[in-house]
Structure 1
């Protein structure tokens, strides 16, 4: 069974648009040289969805009104100044941000006294972000070290409407009534927490000759970190950043993973298809120098599922997935970005596994491994497989669902990816 013509046409259109993008029409990419702006933390956003037992609680649908939202991020590279990016990409009305602050994190929602700085936008403390857009702050002179945690507080005086957000933040976000931008204490934020991210799209660093650009990790829940310990920064991209720092390679890491994301199909819950969002989420990152692509298992594993409210899951062929990967490669190279392909890890034992789906994964992995079309390849399929059953994850690396990586598996993936980063 293959995609119907009606379902395939939007995918082909997205592939054409992505592949035909040129550097002249894109946001500037590539490092600005030593000291230029580099994305040191990022998150890929998607549509707001209601809280549920399945997806977990979040604040995205109601949004915020006379509330402060405090979010802790770990920057992956050093700089003498920082800036934040605020997104209204999936909003239904212009986003009025009354003000924001940033400071060095303490414990939980607390900020180290004396480190809070106001954030301005075109020299003003408030800003309005149009529907579908993002805005970047003015530089904030706050020196940071690689792997240091910062706390960003956004205050919205009026109703925001539904919030542009990221479901699986795996890090606690905090909400408090009223304006607590300059409150370094945690007490006001004690009542309400979430594991999602809201409106904050990125934190960039500049001013350090030791930061030479950004590696963007692009993909689905393997990249997003599902299966790793919440609050521990154990996703494979987190551990990749740690390894780059430990081995003296001055590169930032930005995470562009979305749990449940597909390469070829949109989802109301799990984001725009990979071939559609690649330009924004990867090539739009400041200082992007290389990208690691790990995507396609949800297209295979979910193929044929009915629409449970998050979008259809059409059955796909290996050829269609390979065409999608080729479009990402062409787009990256058009922007002079090195593109590293990762083979799809084993998934035998997961809920949707079948021999027919396994055959598709094998064919896609064979192409990634042998075609020579990626600049480099990380063979996660072979590295993570059970030696007694190559279609299954090694037990020591697997989450309980036999699909995702636990902390140990993420460590192994990070080491393998780091070996291919130049």
Structure 2
């Protein structure tokens, strides 16, 4: 049975706050993207998303590689594949032995213009682009910290104990060391030995869509989480941007930002719980964010009310109190200084390890 070993949540092509190639797309170019798997196996297959594309996208050639072992990708037995408009394409399974914790490189060659590319904005890993067909891994001339068209790598692990982390930039890994796989999803995979899949999108909201920050959480859960094979646990850490964007003038996609009450966030959580019936759903309290650009008197009040509901309602199957775990003991509304990336909103590598440990203790 093929199960997800790595995923990235698709986003609408946008320039946003991360320079990328999504709007220009690709033409007579190759793209090489390296991802770290959290489940091993003897065979691999790859999923590609064109969910935001308005026309088909042709993959003229592709490969997946681990170390010196390179396997060509095929699609229904053919070397060429086509992603349908607003759809996805799944490669055939290829023989390539991989272990949990190993990285694979997926290389694609586009011989015709793709148009704007469905992508994942903040990869915190480096992708490469170069002219012509570069399946041999040489000749790349440009780099980007986004993923393009690539939405999942699956292995024949047969695992059924996968964990999905569903959230915003904190889940996506903002504040972790780029290229080092130090997100809290990486840390949780190392601690548990289980497949851990990262369904975070920087800036994402629970209740509202955004041109930069993805579809609202209550809409994208089905596509990004519930259709994944081999998953039995969902961790929800989402809602901080819904609360905090109204406190800052620096969000160009929200002027003015929607102002939400705690009851609206709670209703969103209840909808996620309803949709995820059959999974173990772990609710996480929102991290402290005092002193950040998301903080203010109103944001403080709403976040406290939301966190108290998560702790006391009993509606999640389990809860992890990340707010208390990550707080400064001398000022509980702020992140512990040892865990603060520097913006008083996002953890650093050490903070992400602490978050992973707190969840691992529940499993």
**So what's the TM-score if we normalise by structure 2?**
0.97
Q: What is the CA–CA distance in structure 1 between the aligned matches of 2:111 and 2:161, rounded to whole Å?
A: 36
Partner of 1:199: 149
> SS of the residue aligned with 2:334?
strand
Q: What is the CA–CA distance in structure 2 between the aligned matches of 1:308 and 1:391, rounded to whole Å?
A: 23
Q: Per-residue deviation at 1:352?
A: 2.8
Q: Which has the higher strand share?
A: 2
Structure 1 stretches lacking a partner, 5+ long: 1-35, 106-111, 246-250
Q: What is the CA–CA distance in structure 1 between the aligned matches of 2:247 and 2:356, rounded to whole Å?
A: 32
After superposition, the C-alpha distances for 1:187-246 in whole angstroms (9 at most, x for unaligned) are x01x2000001000000111x46x33421110001100001100010000011011112x
Whether the aligned pair in 1 keeps the contact of 2:247 and 2:294 (CA below 8 Å) is: no
1:230 paired residue among 150, 164, 178: 178
Q: Does 2:225 correspond to 1:279? A: no
Partner of 2:18: 56
Partner of 2:43: 81
> Structure 2 matches for 1:99-110, cutoff 5 A?
99-105=61-67
Structure 2 stretches lacking a partner, 5+ long: none
Partner of 1:288: 231
Q: Does 2:265 correspond to 1:321? A: yes
Q: What is the CA–CA distance in structure 2 between the aligned matches of 1:304 and 1:265, rounded to whole Å?
A: 16
**So what's the TM-score if we normalise by structure 1?**
0.83
Q: What is the CA–CA distance in structure 1 between the aligned matches of 2:76 and 2:322, rounded to whole Å?
A: 45
Q: What is the CA–CA distance in structure 1 between the aligned matches of 2:111 and 2:204, rounded to whole Å?
A: 33
Give the CA RMSD over aligned residues: 1.4
> SS of the residue aligned with 1:179?
coil
Q: Does 2:121 correspond to 1:167? A: yes
Q: What is the CA–CA distance in structure 2 between the aligned matches of 1:213 and 1:376, rounded to whole Å?
A: 16
> SS of the residue aligned with 1:117?
strand
Q: Does 2:361 correspond to 1:408? A: no
> Structure 2 matches for 1:16-35, cutoff 5 A?
none
Q: Per-residue deviation at 1:311?
A: 4.2
Partner of 1:130: 84
1:252 paired residue among 156, 177, 195: 195
1:359 paired residue among 301, 307, 322: 301
Q: What is the CA–CA distance in structure 1 between the aligned matches of 2:215 and 2:163, rounded to whole Å?
A: 21
Structure 1 runs of 4+ with >6 Å offset: none
Whether the aligned pair in 2 keeps the contact of 1:305 and 1:314 (CA below 8 Å) is: no
Q: What is the CA–CA distance in structure 2 between the aligned matches of 1:82 and 1:303, rounded to whole Å?
A: 44
Whether the aligned pair in 1 keeps the contact of 2:3 and 2:230 (CA below 8 Å) is: yes
